[in-house]
Amino acid sequence: MNPKMNEHQHPPDTTPLRLTQFATRAGCAAKQPQGYLLPLLNCLPPITDPNVLVGTSSSDDAAVYKLSDDLALVLTTDFFTPIVDRPYDFGAIAAANALSDVYAMGGRPLTALSLVGFPDQKLPVEVLAEILRGATDKAAEAGIAIVGGHTIKADEPIFGLAVVGSIHPDRVITNAGAQPGDVLILTKPIGLGIITTAAKNNEDRLGAISEAIEVMTTLNAAAAEVLLRFDVRALTDVTGFGLLGHLRNVTAASKVYARVHADTVPTLSAAREYVAQGIAPGGTHANRKFLADWVTYDDSLSKEQQLLLCDAQTSGGLLACVASHQADAVLHDLRRAGVRWAAAIGSIEPGEPGKIFVSGR
């Protein structure tokens, strides 16, 4: 052994760095609530460019810009502060989450740019290298490269992507096409916000964070590929506004009514326990409050069950409205493609436009 090396050796660092301790808010739970954003967007002048097929007016997942009669771009960005402790996982989750909005429009990702804020005085540069490595690997899994980006100094780590995708202008799946009779299909379990909050606060005594990371790092690519083979009328992904918040975007844009069967919604079991103990991110409470004007719950549902359905997700699943005669085939094909959590969770019905009813069973 080289004695010179020994001289300068530090005791091995046994306490791993915990990235969530550098963030006051985590993941999509840091998203500004809908009650804050919608009036702001309404104050801006309307978009008049006829090539903008989807803009800000319909609270959709991504913008769509038509280039020619058979080609349009899908444009979206998402970034947030650390939701998990390992930098590599954070990068992978942020990338999967940002890519998801392209899939949620029925598009195919082409390329991406990274958006980075980094506290270079508090954290070693190796942490940023790991975040970027996680994102690059996840992008490669989606078949694309991260081709550039922008990095600023910041008090907390921030990471995300701006993603560009492509789509045929006639095959854009917005939030506006849901029709009475459609079946609601969700492709990932909920409860991610509650579990990541528990982990950040050292209250994840069931060790549920590893399953949550597995769910959050799963691309929605395979689910989208299956769904696009069928007659999908409306499609979105479940992120910061929670299952019911994103469903509300669909019912409002489609001017339809929805019924959700609470006990059919795939849920990470630890999240049920934690929410019953009062663990939930601030964004989840804000979602439930905003949705009070839109959602009616069956009397049998406790406040905790309501919170779970409003839980702010990061890199959640796709929520699809599918023609009812195809629902069984869609579920069958999703499971065969490895989308094991996929479930039918309710339906679109005639009723007061925009509103949602949640039944106990």
Active site residues: 28
Token pair of 342 as six digits = 């996929």
The amino acid present at 141, given as its one-letter code, is E
Binding map of Co ion across residues 64-93, x = CB under 5 A, - = no contact: --------------x---------------
Residue 303 contacts residue 292 (beta carbons within 8 Å): no
Token pair of 339 as six digits = 């989308």
Among the residue ranges 94-102, 128-136, 261-269, 291-299, the one whose residues contact Co ion (CB under 5 A)? 94-102
Q: CA-to-CA distance for 19 and 127, rounded, in angstroms?
A: 9
C-alpha angle 157/160/163, rounded to 5°? 165
Closest-approach residue to Co ion (CB): 61
Dihedral angle of Cα 215, 216, 221, 226, to the nearest 10 degrees: 40
What is the nearest approach in angstroms of Co ion to the Cβ of residue 289? 21
- Give 124's strand partners: none
- Give 346's strand partners: 184, 260
Task: Using the minimum distance from each CB to Co ion, give the nearer residue, 78 or 182.
Answer: 78
Residues 214-233, interacting with Co ion (CB under 5 A): none
> Does 61 interact with Co ion (rule: CB under 5 A)?
yes
Residue 354 contacts residue 252 (beta carbons within 8 Å): yes
Residue 105 contacts residue 176 (beta carbons within 8 Å): no
Q: Compute how many other C-beta atoms are within 10 angstroms of the C-beta atom of residue 296.
A: 11
**H-type helices in 163-321, by residue range?**
192-200, 209-216, 221-227, 242-254, 269-276, 282-291, 303-309
Among 104, 209, 268, 320, binds Co ion (CB under 5 A): 104
Phi, psi angle pair for 167, to nearest 5°: -160, 155
For tokens 């492509």, the residue is: 166
Task: Using the minimum distance from each CB to Co ion, give the nearer residue, 20 or 220.
Answer: 220
Among the residue ranges 3-11, 100-108, 137-145, 146-154, the one whose residues contact Co ion (CB under 5 A)? 100-108
**Binding residue count for Co ion, defined by CB under 5 A:** 9
Q: CA-to-CA distance for 100 and 163, rounded, in angstroms?
A: 9
What is the nearest approach in angstroms of Co ion to the Cβ of residue 2? 51
Task: Using the minimum distance from each CB to Co ion, give the nearer residue, 100 or 305.
Answer: 100
What is the nearest approach in angstroms of Co ion to the Cβ of residue 352? 22
Residues 295-354, interacting with Co ion (CB under 5 A): none
What is the nearest approach in angstroms of Co ion to the Cβ of residue 57? 13
For residue 34, give the DSSP letter: H
Task: Using the minimum distance from each CB to Co ion, give the nearer residue, 78 or 304.
Answer: 78
Dump the DSSP string for 56-84: TTTT-SSEEEEEETTEEEEEEEEEES-SS
Binding map of Co ion across residues 169-188, x = CB under 5 A, - = no contact: ------x-------------
Task: Using the minimum distance from each CB to Co ion, give the nearer residue, 236 or 305.
Answer: 236
Among the residue ranges 53-61, 208-216, 267-275, 334-342, the one whose residues contact Co ion (CB under 5 A)? 53-61
What is the nearest approach in angstroms of Co ion to the Cβ of residue 321? 10
The amino acid present at 79, given as its one-letter code, is F
Task: Using the minimum distance from each CB to Co ion, give the nearer residue, 163 or 309.
Answer: 163
- Comparing CA positions, the residue from 156, 204, 190 lying closest to residue 312 is 190
What is the nearest approach in angstroms of Co ion to the Cβ of residue 4? 52
Among 89, 156, 237, 304, binds Co ion (CB under 5 A): 237
Task: Using the minimum distance from each CB to Co ion, give the nearer residue, 60 or 182.
Answer: 60
What is the nearest approach in angstroms of Co ion to the Cβ of residue 100? 6
Question: Footprint of Co ion on this chain (CB under 5 A)?
Answer: 60-61, 78, 101, 104, 175, 235-237
